[in-house]
Structure 1
Amino acid sequence: VPHDDYVQHLLNDLDNDVAYAQGREVQTIFIGGGTPSLLSGPAMQTLLDGVRARLPLAADAEITMEANPGTVEADRFVDYQRAGVNRISIGVQSFSEEKLKRLGRIHGPQEAKRAAKLASGLGLRSFNLDLMHGLPDQSLEEALGDLRQAIELNPPHLSWYQLTIEPNTLFGSRPPVLPDDDALWDIFEQGHQLLTAAGYQQYETSAYAKPGYQCQHNLNYWRFGDYIGIGCGAHGKVTFPDGRILRTTKTRHPRGFMQGRYLESQRDVEAADKPFEFFMNRFRLLEAAPRVEFIQYTGLSEEVIRSQLDEAIAQGYLTECADYWQITEHGKLFLNSLLELFLAE
C-alpha cells in the first residue's frame, strides 16, 4: 500500500467524521493496528499535520504509536518524534526465541531489547512494552523470566496480557496446549508481585505503570469516553448531546478502503445494552467508578440497574458508597460473573 495515498485516504476518512468531535479538544491519538512503524517519516508528518488542521488538538496531547520490534529504525523514530509522536508502544510479546516463533512473530529477543533501548534513549514522554503470558507450554519460570527482562529495560508502562485464542487464527484452527487455570493464576500472582516490587502500579486488568505514566488513551477508553476511529478496521464511539451513542466500524480490507469505501457499518447502542457496555469497560479499571458517571455517560438513571447493583453487592463483587462503586478483589476474580448481571434480558 503506497504510504502517501493511504495517508490521504486516512485524512479523507477523518473529514467525514470530523463533526463527531463536536468542537471538543482531542486529548490523545493512538496510531496502532498492524505495523504503523512501516510508515515513512514524511507520511507521519503529513498525517499528524492533517489531524491538527482538522481538529483542535490539546497542546499536551498524548500521541502514541505502536511499533513492531522488527521494524524499529533509529532515524525513522526521530522523524516520528519530530512529527509529534511522544509515546511508543513496542509489541515485544516474549523474550523467548521459541515462543516468538510459535506466535508467528518476525522479530527475535535481541531486536525487542534494541527497540526498547532506542525508545528510552529518545527522551519521549513515555514508552510501553507489550508482553504476553500464558503462552503455549510456558512454565511459571519462563513467564517470570520474560517479565524480569521487561522490567530490566525500565519502561514507564507495561502491558501484561494473557494470551487468548481467537477463532480464525493459526492457533484457533490447531489449538496449542496452554497452561491450566492454576498455572495461570500462579503466573499472575507472582508476576504481579514482581511488578509491584519494581514500582509499577496496576491500574487496569492488563496494564501497569509507574506513577504518573498511565496511558491516557486507554483510560479514556475504559472510562467509556468517546473516540473517533480512522483507517482500516478502526472502531469509533461517539456520544451525542441527546444521549445517543453511535459505534462505527471502518472497512477492514485496504483495497476497499483505498477505493474510498471507508465506513463498513455503524449502529446505535440500544438503551438496554448501555449498562453492560459501560461496566464492561469501567470495571476493567481498578479505580473507583463515580456513580454520577453512569448517568453522564449512558444518559440512564441508576434506577434501571438498581436490582443488578444490589445483587452485585450481595455477591461481594462490589462495594457502594454515596459517591462511587468500587470493584472488590472477589469482583476482579469473577469479572465475567459480575458483568453478566448487567447483560440485557
Structure 2
Amino acid sequence: MSLLLPPLSLYIHLPWCVKKCPYCDFNSHQADRFEHQGKLPEEAYLAQLLADLEADLPYVAGRPIQTAFIGGGTPSLMSEDFYYRLMDALREKLAWVDNAEITMEANPGTFEQNKFAHFRQAGINRLSIGIQSFQPNLLKTLGRIHNREEAIHAVDKSRLAGFDNINLDLMHGLPEQSLEMALEDLSLAIELNPEHLSWYQLTIEPNTEFFRRPPSLPEDNTLWGIQDAGQNLLAKHGYTQYEVSANSKANRRAAHNLNYWRFGDYLGIGAGAHGKITLKDGQIFRTRKTRHPNHYLNNLPEALIIKEAIEQEDLPLEFMMNRLRLFETFDLQDYEAYTHQKLPTHLIKACENGLQQGLLDPHEWQHKRVKTTKKGKLFLNDLLELFLP
C-alpha cells in the first residue's frame, strides 16, 4: 500500500537586487556586479533553473504542483521574455492542479510596474509587493529605492494588469518609529485594499549591515503597543491574523505559505533555494542549492544539490515549529499523516506542558486537537522550546 504524500509546491529563487538592503539576510546580490553589457545572465540562469528542476523531478514522480512562489532577491528585475519562457517550460515539465496559486515578489519601482501586465499574461496570478514603509525617512533608512507615490501607484498598476490577488509586505518596529508612525503606514496599506497583508517586525539578523551597525530601534513597550494596536486595526478592517506575520481577508490566505507551515513538500530551484521532499518509502529529506549565482551558473545540476535526511528524533520539533506558526486548530493525527511516524510520547508530553502553562487550548486538547491560546501566540518561542529533543 502506497503512502499518502503531502501536497507539493514549487519555490523558484532569483538572487539579484538593484541594491542590497541593510536589514536583508536573504540570498540576494547586487545586480550590477553580475551584468554583462547592462543585462543580467537571463539565458544562462533560465537554462540552469530548468536543469536544476530536471535533477529534482525523480523525487516527485509526476506529483502535481499545488502552488508556486517566485522569490528573491527581486524577481521582477527579470524581463518579460524570461517569464514567458520560464512559465511555458514549467507547464511542460510539471503537472499542475487547476487554478494553482503562482506568486511573484515584486518591487514597487516604476521600472518593474511596466512589466506587471506581462507577468500576469505569462501565468503568474498573485503579486507580493515589497513596500516595507510609506514614509520617506524610513524608506531611506531601510535602503529602499522606491518612494511613497511609487508604492501606491504599484498597487493601482497591478490591478490594471489583471491581478485580483495581491499581498503587501510591510514592516514595523523600524528605527526611531513611533506607534503613530507604524499605524499611519498600516492604515495606508489597508486603504489600498490588498487581499493579503504581511505585517512583520524588523529583526536584526547576522551578516547584515544593520547587524554590523545597529540602528536605534523602538523600546519593548512601544513594540508591544504597535503589535497590539496594529492587530486590532487589521481585525477591524476584515484582516484575520492566521500566522505570526500574515493577515488576510476571508478565503485569501496564502496557499503557498500554508503548505510550508502545514509541513507540506516543496521543490526548491535556483541559487540558494531550499526544498523538502517526502519519498514513497516515507523518508523525508531537505535539499539546498549552492548560494552564489556564479557558482550556481557554473556547476552541473548533480553538483548543485545538498541532500540531508530529517532524522526521526528531529521530526516532532520540525513539525511543530511549522504547525504552531499557524493560528489554526489541527488534529494530532496530522503528525502521523505528514511524517509517517507514530505520534511520539515526547510530543504529547510537550503539549501537556504547554497546556499547564496556558500556551495551548485545553478545550481543543480534549478532542485531540492542538490550538495556541492568545498567550501562546505572544510567547511562541517559549512554546516551541517545549518540543526540543
Coarse TM-score class (shorter-chain normalised): over 0.9
Structure 1 position 333, deviation (Å) = 1.2
| 2:76 maps to 1:34 | no
SS across alignment from 1:296? helix
| 2:325 maps to 1:284 | yes
Match of 2:216 in 1: 177
Q: Give the alignment of 1:11-22 within 5 angstroms.
A: 11-22=50-61
Question: In structure 2, what residue type is equivalent to 1:48?
Answer: M
| 2:376 maps to 1:334 | no
Cα distance between partner residues in 2 of 1:72 and 1:227: 31
Question: In structure 1, what residue type is equivalent to 2:240?
Answer: Q
Match of 2:202 in 1: 163
Among 117, 122, 144, which residue is 2:183 paired with?
144
Cα distance between partner residues in 2 of 1:124 and 1:70: 17
Aligned 8 A contact 1:291 1:325 in 2: yes
Deviations 1:189-247 (A, max 9, x none): 11111111111111111001110111100000111100000001111001122322111
Match of 1:267 in 2: 308
Question: In structure 2, what residue type is equivalent to 1:289?
Answer: F
Aligned 8 A contact 2:105 2:129 in 1: yes
Match of 1:313 in 2: 355
Cα distance between partner residues in 1 of 2:170 and 2:188: 11
Aligned 8 A contact 1:233 1:249 in 2: yes
Structure ranking higher on relative contact order (CA contacts 8 Å, 6+ apart) = 2
Gapped runs of 5+ residues in structure 1? Answer: none
Structure 1 position 330, deviation (Å) = 1.2
Match of 2:17 in 1: none
SS across alignment from 1:267? strand
Aligned 8 A contact 2:120 2:162 in 1: no
Deviations 1:78-133 (A, max 9, x none): 11111101010000000011111111111111111111111123232301100000
Identity %: 51
Judging changes above 3 Å, is the alpha-carbon distance between structure 1 residues 86 and 72 closer, same or farther for their aligned structure 2 residues?
farther
| TM-score calculated relative to the size of structure 1 | 0.96
Q: Give the alignment of 1:110-125 within 5 angstroms.
A: 110-125=149-164
Aligned 8 A contact 1:137 1:179 in 2: yes
Q: Give the alignment of 1:124-139 within 5 angstroms.
A: 124-139=163-178
| 2:341 maps to 1:296 | no
Aligned 8 A contact 1:120 1:155 in 2: no
Deviations 1:144-183 (A, max 9, x none): 0000110111111100010010111110001111112211
Q: Give the alignment of 1:196-207 within 5 angstroms.
A: 196-207=235-246
| 2:117 maps to 1:78 | yes
Gapped runs of 5+ residues in structure 2? Answer: 1-39
Cα distance between partner residues in 1 of 2:79 and 2:317: 41
Structure 1 position 58, deviation (Å) = 1.5
Aligned residues: 344
SS across alignment from 1:137? coil
Cα distance between partner residues in 2 of 1:20 and 1:47: 21
Match of 2:35 in 1: none
SS across alignment from 1:146? helix
Aligned 8 A contact 2:108 2:150 in 1: yes
Question: In structure 2, what residue type is equivalent to 1:100?
Answer: L
Structure 1 position 264, deviation (Å) = 5.1
Structure 1 position 41, deviation (Å) = 1.0
Aligned 8 A contact 1:37 1:72 in 2: no
Cα distance between partner residues in 2 of 1:21 and 1:234: 17
Cα distance between partner residues in 1 of 2:61 and 2:366: 34
Structure 1 position 261, deviation (Å) = 4.7
Deviations 1:259-285 (A, max 9, x none): 135525221111111111111110111
Question: In structure 2, what residue type is equivalent to 1:19?
Answer: P
Cα distance between partner residues in 2 of 1:298 and 1:57: 24
Aligned 8 A contact 2:106 2:112 in 1: no
Cα distance between partner residues in 2 of 1:77 and 1:242: 42
Cα distance between partner residues in 2 of 1:201 and 1:255: 42
Cα distance between partner residues in 2 of 1:232 and 1:220: 22
Cα distance between partner residues in 1 of 2:334 and 2:342: 10
Cα distance between partner residues in 2 of 1:71 and 1:171: 27
Deviations 1:10-42 (A, max 9, x none): 111000011222322101110011111011111
